[in-house]
Amino acid sequence: MISDFQDTGYSLRTKIYHRLKNAILDGVYKPGESLIEMKLAKELGVSRTPIREAIRQLELEGLVSSIPNKGVIVEGVTSQDVEDIYTIRKMIEGQAARWAADKITDAQLKELKDTLDLMEFYTEKGKPDKVSELDSRFHDIIFRACNSRPLESVLTNFHHFIQRARLVSVKASGRAIHSLEEHRSIFEALEAHDPEAAEKAMLSHVDSASLNLYPYLEKHEL
């Protein structure tokens, strides 16, 4: 039984939704696997009602499907999903970096630098899970610096959806070192408040991440 689920109302439904969504994105529940309400309710120590509500939301997002006579089946994140998201990232993240270069504050620059230092530390320690977590934090700071709520909302959703792909990319041979250098270039451009350099550095980073991932996608499902 998960004690932090002992709650009621919206908070409980939200916690369960995020727990299940993260489990799907992290590969705990594999594509094609069944999600059984009664089993999940027992594992999480809650009633079936919030489980059912969370599954309904996951179905709206395309992460699960309700199939007659089979129940709820995990769709997960496919290779095509990842390719599509990287293409969309290239379209909009360059603009995010450009806006951030104009608007980023000294406090946000310090937060970026601290995150970059931690990325370097965990890269040297060979901790890809931590590097992936810090990678997300680095980009989230840039999104906030854009001072655009619509853009931040869209990009945050994309990065949450692609977290599994990011972790695979970071684990690939030699990628973590190159990724660190790319993040450093982005930081330097933002620190100089140079929109063109920031956009160029961001596009180069997204390109490199996608090119690094495609050989893996040809052989594996995420």
What pLDDT is attached to residue 189?
Answer: 98
| Token code pair at residue 149 | 């709520």
Tens digit of each residue's pLDDT (9 = 90 or more) over 116-139: 999 999 999 988 878 888 988 999
Q: Are 99 and 144 spatial neighbours (Cβ–Cβ below 8 Å)?
A: no
CA–CA separation, 93 and 105 (whole Å): 19
What pLDDT is attached to residue 20?
Answer: 92
CA–CA separation, 211 and 56 (whole Å): 34
What pLDDT is attached to residue 25?
Answer: 76
CA–CA separation, 139 and 119 (whole Å): 12
- Nearest one of 205, 119, 213 to 163, comparing CA atoms: 213
Q: What values do phi and psi take at 119, rounded to 5?
A: -60, -40
Query: What b-and-e string marks burial along 157-178, b requiring 16 or more CB atoms within 10 Å of the CB?
Result: ebbebbbbbbbbbbebeebbee
What pLDDT is attached to residue 31?
Answer: 86
What pLDDT is attached to residue 102?
Answer: 97
**Structural domains of the chain sorted by starting position, each given as residue range(s) with its CATH number in brackets:** 3-74 (1.10.10.10), 79-217 (1.20.120.530)
Q: Report how far Cα 192 is from the mean position of its chain's Cα atoms.
A: 27
What pLDDT is attached to residue 145?
Answer: 96
Considering only CA atoms, give the Rg of the chain.
19
What pLDDT is attached to residue 13?
Answer: 85
What pLDDT is attached to residue 216?
Answer: 62
The CA-based dihedral angle spanning residues 180, 169, 22, 118, taken in that order and rounded to the nearest 10 degrees: -20
The ranges of the chain with pLDDT < 70 are 1-10, 159-173, 214-222
CB under 8 Å to 113, separation ≥6 — which residues?
A: 187
What pLDDT is attached to residue 180?
Answer: 94
Tens digit of each residue's pLDDT (9 = 90 or more) over 144-173: 999 998 987 887 777 666 666 666 666 666
Which DSSP symbol is given to 30? P
What pLDDT is attached to residue 3?
Answer: 38
Residue carrying structure tokens 């060979």:
126
Q: What values do phi and psi take at 153, rounded to 5?
A: -65, -45
What pLDDT is attached to residue 5?
Answer: 47
Task: Give first-to-last CA distance, the chain, whole Å.
Answer: 28
Other CB atoms within 10 Å distance of the CB of residue 112 = 22
CA–CA separation, 100 and 158 (whole Å): 18
